[in-house]
Structure 1
Amino acid sequence: MKKLLILLTLSQLFIFTANAQIEKGSILIGGKLNFNNSNSDQWFGDLPNTSGRESKSIEFNFHPQIGYTLGNNWTLGTMLIFKAGKTVVNQNSSTSSSSTSDRLTTNDHAFGGALFIRKYFPFGEKFSGFAEFNSGSVWQNHESNYERTDSEATISETKYNELQSNMLAGIAYFPKNWLAVELSSNLLSFTHSKRKNEDNIQKANSNKFDFGMSTSSINLGVSFFLNNK
């Protein structure tokens, strides 16, 4: 996986002499998909005095795109942003006289839209590196449900309005001139978030800046280029 991340980065650092693979006036229709699933399990102590924590999370991202090729392998377009995720954390503690357990379940859903611009760097007959910048707005809903053995469940909901900007690096394989299979990952991300409570009253603003690729941010994409012969 580390070799793949290095390859994605190097594809943006070298421009090879080759004929353009994407003709001016071509229409791009495609999208990117990202899926993450993680589990962790930790236990401490010896019977009867033990404590433990179990965490499971799953996240799905889908970004359909449509764009227009301006020439010189530049493509400008729009994209939609869909996100769904769920995390469940269980904690347990027991002694010779008592035991307690609690569970925190969170659900996240997001929808938004953005503009993007992409530059392709062809090399060889079938491959091309590319860099993409996108920026747009996302509306996110975060729900949490906290349950404990000795108390009633606590349910809360928080809404976020976010402005997101991302810089991606990727590599595309062209089995056909009109079809590209792509791998990409975020290099740089900036998020400005406005948080609201259940009464839709603004509570806080925050800014987040991320730099560097990770295996959890790798996207698989497919693009169709209409009119590209």
Structure 2
Amino acid sequence: MKKMLLILALSVFGFANAQKGTILVGGNIGYSSNKIEREMAPSKNTTFQFSPKVGYQFHDNWTVGAEFSLVSSKSTIEEGEGKATNFKAGAFVRYTVPLSETFSVFADLGAGFQNQKDKIYENGVLTSEGKGDGLYAGITPALFINMKKGFGLNFSIGGLGYETMSYDATDADVKSFYFNFGKTINIGISKNF
């Protein structure tokens, strides 16, 4: 448990409390793995995520920029295996309110395009393949704590979002709405250059 908390704290990076006219670079790196031991159908799932952001603070409170996300996951159940790759590219706008020299709150509003590719294998042979395209939008509020010399910590506890995905092979249209406040916790380290 301690290793997982350390990995979480070190792998999630955010933006610093920036100043007008500065370039901001940040993002998230994440990894998760779970294994279910069952007699009949043991399974294992692993996921890796990389989500960088680059922004420009054009006002004391406003930042605009580009965001990118790549998520790769793999699942195994008995002799079957599934692989999925999700790619997102879009833009974000951030509004920051300083509460003191130490604390600030901010909210990121992001929207863009997403693409997903799925492959399913049985005994090492590709049995099905799917591809989907869609859009996403989401808002994430967070707290920034300025530690010293531009270094700080970012804390968020979820967000609100909407996603669409249209799959070509099955003609399925999927629409998702999520509200996960309190369900996820992100801790980040940030630096303003």
Structure 2 counterpart of 1:26, one-letter code: T
**Aligned residue number for residue 66 of structure 1:** 54
**Aligned residue number for residue 160 of structure 1:** 132
Distance between the aligned counterparts of 2:48 and 2:126, measured in 1? Answer: 26
Shift of 1:70: 2.6
The secondary structure found in structure 2 opposite 1:161 is: strand
**Aligned residue number for residue 103 of structure 2:** 127
1:170-181 alignment to 2 at 5 Å? 170-181=142-153
Shift of 1:27: 1.3
- The alignment's TM-score, normalised by the length of structure 1, stands at 0.68
Distance between the aligned counterparts of 2:30 and 2:126, measured in 1? Answer: 31
| Residue 87 of structure 2 is aligned to residue 115 of structure 1 | no
| Residue 141 of structure 2 is aligned to residue 169 of structure 1 | yes
Distance between the aligned counterparts of 1:55 and 1:80, measured in 2? Answer: 30
**Aligned residue number for residue 32 of structure 1:** 28
CA contact (8 A) 1:165 1:191 kept: yes
Structure 1 unaligned segments of length 5 or more: list them. 1-20, 44-51, 91-102
Say if 1:62 and 1:74 are closer, same or farther in 2 by CA, change over 3 A: same
CA contact (8 A) 1:195 1:204 kept: yes
1:1-229 alignment to 2 at 5 Å? 21-43=17-39, 52-90=40-78, 103-147=79-123, 153=125, 155-197=127-169, 203-213=171-181, 215=183, 217-226=184-193
CA contact (8 A) 1:32 1:219 kept: no
Distance between the aligned counterparts of 2:139 and 2:132, measured in 1? Answer: 22
Distance between the aligned counterparts of 2:91 and 2:33, measured in 1? Answer: 28
- How many residues are paired up? 177
CA contact (8 A) 2:32 2:46 kept: yes
Shift of 1:127: 3.0
The secondary structure found in structure 2 opposite 1:42 is: coil
Shift of 1:196: 1.8
The secondary structure found in structure 2 opposite 1:53 is: coil
Distance between the aligned counterparts of 1:127 and 1:40, measured in 2? Answer: 41
Distance between the aligned counterparts of 1:113 and 1:194, measured in 2? Answer: 17
Structure 2 counterpart of 1:89, one-letter code: I
Identity %: 24
Shift of 1:154: 5.5
Give the superposed CA RMSD: 2.4
Distance between the aligned counterparts of 1:120 and 1:70, measured in 2? Answer: 12
Structure 2 unaligned segments of length 5 or more: list them. 1-16
Shift of 1:115: 0.5
Distance between the aligned counterparts of 2:98 and 2:34, measured in 1? Answer: 35
Q: What whole-Å deviation, never above 9, does each CA across 1:14-41 have from its counterpart, x for those lacking one?
A: xxxxxxx532112111112232222222
Structure 2 counterpart of 1:146, one-letter code: E
Distance between the aligned counterparts of 1:221 and 1:64, measured in 2? Answer: 13
Say if 1:39 and 1:128 are closer, same or farther in 2 by CA, change over 3 A: farther
The secondary structure found in structure 1 opposite 2:174 is: strand
CA contact (8 A) 1:120 1:129 kept: yes
Q: Which has the higher strand share?
A: 1
Distance between the aligned counterparts of 1:68 and 1:154, measured in 2? Answer: 44
